[in-house]
Structure 1
Amino acid sequence: MLKNIKWNSQSLDSWSEKYARGKFIDLSGRRTHYIEKGKGDPVILLHGFFYDSYLWAENIDALAKNHKVYALDLWGFGYSTREPLDYGYQLYADQVLQFMDHLSIPTASLAGQSMGGGTAILFCLLHRERVNKLILVNSAGLPNKPPLDSKIACIRGVGEFIFGLKTEAIRKNSLKEAFVHKTELVTQHYFEHVTCFHKIRHTTEVLLTVLRKNFFDKLSDEIHRLATVDVPILIVWGKYDKAISLRHGEEMNRILKNSRLEILDNAGHVSNFDCAEQFNKLAVEFLTEIYDKERESIASQSEATAVSS
Structure 2
Amino acid sequence: MERWTTFPVLPAMAAPASSGTVSARGGAIHYASYGKGPPVILLHGGLSNSDYWANQLPFLARDHRVILIDSRGHGRSTRSALPYSYELMASDVIAVMDQLKLRKAAIVGWSDGAIIGLVLAIRNPERLTCVFAFAANMDPSGVNLDATEKPPFSTFVAQARKDYERLSPTPDKFDDFLAAIGKMWETEPNYSAADLGKIHVPVAIVDGDHDEAIKAAHTAYLARSIPGARLIWLKDASHFAMMQDPAGFNAALDAFLRGR
- Fold shared by both chains (TM-score > 0.5): yes
2:142 to 141, 144, 147: 144
Rounded Cα–Cα distance in structure 2 between residues aligned with 1:121 and 1:214: 16
Deviation, 1:65, is: 1.5
1:216-231 alignment runs, 5 A limit = 217-221=188-192, 224-231=194-201
- Structure 1 gaps of 5+ residues are 1-18, 151-172, 181-190, 291-309
1:115-134 alignment runs, 5 A limit = 115-134=112-131
1:69-108 alignment runs, 5 A limit = 69-108=66-105
**Which of structures 1 and 2 has the bigger CA Rg?**
1
Q: For residues 148-176 of structure 1, give each alpha carbon's deviation from its aligned partner in whole angstroms, at most 9, with x where no partner exists.
A: 376xxxxxxxxxxxxxxxxxxxxxx7661
Counterpart secondary structure, 2:73: coil
The amino acid of 1:176's aligned partner reads: P
Q: Does 1:114 align with 2:108?
A: no
Q: Percent sequence identity over matched residues?
A: 26
Which residue does 1:197 correspond to in 2? Answer: 164
Rounded Cα–Cα distance in structure 1 between residues aligned with 2:188 and 2:233: 21
Deviation, 1:63, is: 1.3
Q: For residues 42-76 of structure 1, give each alpha carbon's deviation from its aligned partner in whole angstroms, at most 9, with x where no partner exists.
A: 11111111211122111111111121111110011
1:1-309 alignment runs, 5 A limit = 23-28=19-24, 30-142=27-139, 143-148=141-146, 176-177=152-153, 195-199=162-166, 200-214=171-185, 217-221=188-192, 224-289=194-259
- Is the Cα–Cα contact under 8 Å of residues 133 and 205 in structure 2 kept in the other structure? yes
- Structure 2 gaps of 5+ residues are 1-12
Rounded Cα–Cα distance in structure 2 between residues aligned with 1:175 and 1:83: 32
Counterpart secondary structure, 1:79: coil
Rounded Cα–Cα distance in structure 2 between residues aligned with 1:243 and 1:78: 22
The amino acid of 1:276's aligned partner reads: P
Q: Which has the higher helix share?
A: 1
Rounded Cα–Cα distance in structure 1 between residues aligned with 2:227 and 2:154: 29
Q: For residues 192-246 of structure 1, give each alpha carbon's deviation from its aligned partner in whole angstroms, at most 9, with x where no partner exists.
A: 688422451223211211112335653332x532323321111211111111122
- Is the Cα–Cα contact under 8 Å of residues 42 and 68 in structure 1 kept in the other structure? yes
The amino acid of 1:37's aligned partner reads: Y
- Is the Cα–Cα contact under 8 Å of residues 43 and 68 in structure 2 kept in the other structure? yes
TM-score normalized by the length of structure 1:
0.70
Rounded Cα–Cα distance in structure 2 between residues aligned with 1:90 and 1:215: 15
CA RMSD of aligned residues (A): 2.7
